[in-house]
Amino acid sequence: MRTIIFDIETTGLPEAELAALLPAFDPAEVKTGNIKDPEKVAAKIAEAEANHRRDFFERAALDALTGRVLVIGTVEAGLIKVIEHQDEAALLTAFWELCQGEMGRINRMVGFNTHLFDLPFLIRRSWKLGIAVPMGIRRGRFWAEEMVDIRNEWQLGDRMARGSLDSIAKHLGVGQKNGDGKEFGKLWATDREAAIAYLNNDLTLTALIAGRLGAL
């Protein structure tokens, strides 16, 4: 069984698709307080509507309903690789093939916050695109033991325990993040080298934290 560290980066769906998914804006929900001037009321409502649209688009990459998997980074035996493909279905297929081990087993997949974000996102996008998910990734209501989330290891059973990848890395003295994941899509489109550096850094931090916690 191989041990593979992984991290996914996502981006929002194309603007035209997002526009069709944008929840309806209700002007009646805008609190105008004691404003009496009709022009000022209209301006406040217009601002609220613009914020409504902006917030929806900015959060799109964080939800499988409004976002897609853009790239997946992996580390195996110290070697970092970036899986990328314009076709999301091909990208997902490549990842699930990586998860499959010998004799019908699955490889040990290690990541950060993967139980709450990466794996659900990957599976939901796979459902959307009709991509088969390997048997054994999920076992009933639980993730397979081979699916290791080092954030869970850090929490030690305390679901209220705080700790982001950045804060835990700093606490352990193994480094820090070099950007913000929600901006990855824009970075990938404008500065591919910087985007890959960001992904590689996240993978490195994940590996170092996992090693420190004895999860490798």
Domain ranges of the chain: 3-14+62-212
pLDDT digits (tens, 9 = 90+) for 63-94: 999 999 999 999 999 999 999 999 999 999 99
- What's the fold here for domain 3-14+62-212? Nucleotidyltransferase; domain 5 (3.30.420)
User: In this predicted model, what pLDDT tens digit does every residue of 115-155 receive, in sequence order?
Assistant: 999 999 999 999 999 999 998 899 888 999 999 999 999 99
**Cα–Cα distances in angstroms (integers) from residue 213 to residues 119, 149, 181, 210, in the given order:** 21, 11, 24, 5
Tokens read off for 12: 């929002």
pLDDT at 27 over 90: no
| Residue found under tokens 């992984």 | 6
pLDDT-derived band at 201 (thresholds 50, 70, 90) equals: very high
Q: Name the 3-class secondary structure at 139.
A: strand
How do residues 157-167 score in pLDDT, each as one tens digit? 998 899 999 99
pLDDT of residue 124: 98
Residue 78: closest CA among 178, 213, 210, 214: 210
